[in-house]
Chains A and B, each alone.
Chain A
Amino acid sequence: MGFCVNAHIRFSWEDIGKANSLEPRVEKKPSSKRTNSYKFWEARRLVAVLELTNISKHFGAIQAVNDISFSLEAGQVVGLMGDNGAGKSTLVKMIAGNFRPSHGTMRLDGAEIVLHRPKEARLHGIEIVHQDLALCNNLTAAANVFLGRELRRGIWPFRILDYKAMYKRAGEIFRELKSETRPRDLVKQMSGGQRQAVAIGRTMLSEAKIVLMDEPTAAISVRQVAEVLNLIRQLRDRGIVVVLISHRMPDVFSVADRVIVMRRGRKVADKPIAASSPEEVTGLITGAIEQV
């Protein structure tokens, strides 16, 4: 029964994805159609990109995250699920450099890292797409993508913004994401899916290794959800680890390769999506199923 429901949901979401994507949907299993990006992905997946070992975080007496260990491999989409207050955000904020873990270590590409602020995480190739997207409505898509990392030309002190290069690069990024987003448009006038593309575009400016996405599909329409899931697949095909924090079971089951479930600060499940089912995950989230 579980398998049946699972398959059904997956089919319907794939369908919507197909209707929207401009290219035939690439299966999760490697196929001959994937060429360079796949080879890149294959090469990188041999090593774990990020390893968390016995990570805990407490705020005073409150134990937000308790002894969590897992590793993330390149080109993998990991769904991070759990109820409100399960510790998902705290965990992600530690990876993004907002909080420092109370205990435990993080290793990136084999080397131990300690992050003091978000900027350091970004230098290590860890990017985060915030739930509110952190966009400036009064600026263009390109300006938002490059915010804080503007390209300039000329010699000091006459260094001026290089509009042309930024429009060009932003256009390339949107093309890679297969999103119909125009770099010169104001973000104010954009749809939810396009806004997501702008926020995700930021993570592609530098060679990101890990992209953390906080509830990217929480507040947008069904059509736009499909668009966002396609964006996530584009990132995965570039060999990037995507951590998808979501409440929406269908999204996780249509795009993720693996699901990690948290309850009360502990990891209660960590398994391939094919070996799980929405019922099982729901049971794990609510506590009906203790642990798998």
Chain B
Amino acid sequence: MAITLDQTIRQKQRSWFATILGGQTFWVLIAVILACIFLSMATDSFATAKNIYNITRNVTFVAIIALGMTLVIITGGIDLSVGSVLCLCSMVLAIVMHAGYSIEVGIAASIGTALLVGAFNGLLIAYLGFPPFVVTLGMLSIARSLAMVASNNTVVFQFGPDHDKLLALGGGAWLFGIANPVLYMVVLALMTGFMLRWTKFGRYVFAIGGNEHAATLTGVPVQRIKVIVYMISALSAGVAGIIQTGWLGAVTTNIGAGMELQVIAAAVIGGANLAGGVGTAFGALIGAALIEVIRNSLGLLGINAFWQGSFIGGAIVLAVLFDRIRNLQRDE
């Protein structure tokens, strides 16, 4: 009798293979791969080194922010301010460097700004109980306005003594011809994935999204974790801003406009659940990749660019539809 109980307790309910097959991320990955195969055969220009370089680099800015956004979404929150924070951080970097400071000072100022903004969002949400939607909507407006105030709404394209270093940081390809931003993205994704799976912090992020009340009762420092999560989200926007500045070689006050919606779309397509408790770092990358592949392919296939929104919107609904169908089956 005791052996039976032991066996039951040891038994795994689902193998790792079944777990992978059951995940939304897996099916989105399949969709991305199929789309790439189809495009390689249907067009001559897709599978060229130049186009692949372009796609991978374009993916990164959305993907990096989507990593931070995924954390926020797992806790059951939302961060609408990331596009504006990206703009503000780029502008802080540009202005500091334009004033003659080194790239290190510029990056430190930029990251400091991001952390400050994230801490402000987080404190209001965690300690004063503001709804995340409202706080970050306010910050969306404030951060962009601050960027305009700081730059007097001009374009900055001269970055002082370290001008070339900054451009190399964002626009170069230091390793095997892979664009630098892609390298940063991979490193950040690995870090995020590790954090979610292997640290106490990651466990708490999931617990808060699953049942915040339970997390509080069991002694999880819910408020502190939430503040950190919003700081990470703003930080990811800041990092993306720094890289994008280096890549573009100029900063205007409307970079990152509307980006928050692309980022949220990427996270959701990649399997993050807006109700909280579910999401992966890998999913964020795959989601961002799918959006970029759709965009790129429409251009290559000669389809009117006005259709872009329909296809991306369709992908969002379709990705979540798979998840709904699975859940409906389980409920029955």
Contacts and interface: CB of A to CB of B under 8 A. Distances in A.
Interface of A: 22-23, 118-119, 122, 130, 132-139, 143, 147-150, 152, 159-161, 171, 174-175, 178, 180-185, 189, 202
B215 A174 contact: no
B12 interface: yes
Given A136-B207, A138-B277, A161 B214 contact: no
Contacts of B48: none
Contact of A180 (B2, B8, B209, B277): B8
Contacts of A122: 219
A80 B212 CA distance: 29
B210 A139 contact: yes
Given A161-B200, A161-B203, A136 B277 contact: yes
B199 interface: yes
Contacts of B206: 136, 138-139, 143
B219 A171 contact: no
A147 B214 contact: yes
A33 to B, nearest CB: 15
B329 interface: no
B8 A182 contact: yes
Given A119-B219, A134-B217, A171 B209 contact: no
Contacts of B1: 22-23
A147 B207 contact: yes
Contacts of A130: 217
B209 A138 contact: yes
B200 A136 contact: no
B217 A182 contact: no
The 5 closest A-B pairs by CB, nearest first: A136-B210, A138-B277, A134-B214, A148-B219, A138-B210
B220 interface: yes
B175 interface: no
Given A138-B278, A174-B9, A182-B13, A148 B220 contact: yes
Given A138-B210, A139-B207, A202-B218, 17 more contacts: A22-B5, A119-B219, A130-B217, A134-B213, A138-B209, A138-B277, A139-B203, A147-B220, A148-B215, A148-B218, A152-B200, A161-B200, A175-B6, A181-B9, A182-B10, A183-B9, A184-B13
B11 interface: yes
A37 to B, nearest CB: 16
Nearest to B210: A136
Contacts of B40: none
Given A135-B211, A139-B206, A175 B9 contact: yes
B218 A147 contact: yes
6 contacts: A136-B206, A138-B277, A149-B219, A161-B198, A180-B8, A202-B218
Most buried by A among B1, B207, B215, B220: B207
Category for how many chain B residues contact A = 20 to 34
Interface string B48-68: 000000000000000000000
Contact of B9 (A23, A135, A138, A171): A171
Nearest to A135: B214
A224 B5 CA distance: 17
Contacts of B10: 171, 182
Contacts of B5: 22, 175, 178, 180
Most buried by B among A136, A139, A180, A185: A136
B312 to A, nearest CB: 28
Contacts of A134: 211, 213-214, 217-218
Contacts of A183: 9
Contact of A137 (B9, B12, B199, B277): B277
A160 B215 contact: no
Interface string B23-45: 00000000000000000000000
B203 A150 contact: yes
Nearest to B12: A184
Contacts of A189: 13
A209 B214 CA distance: 22
Contact of A143 (B198, B203, B219): B203
Contacts of A23: 1
Given A178-B5, A181-B9, A182-B11, A150 B214 contact: no
Contact of A160 (B6, B199, B210): B199
B210 A137 contact: yes
A150 B197 CA distance: 13
Contacts of A149: 219
Nearest to B214: A134
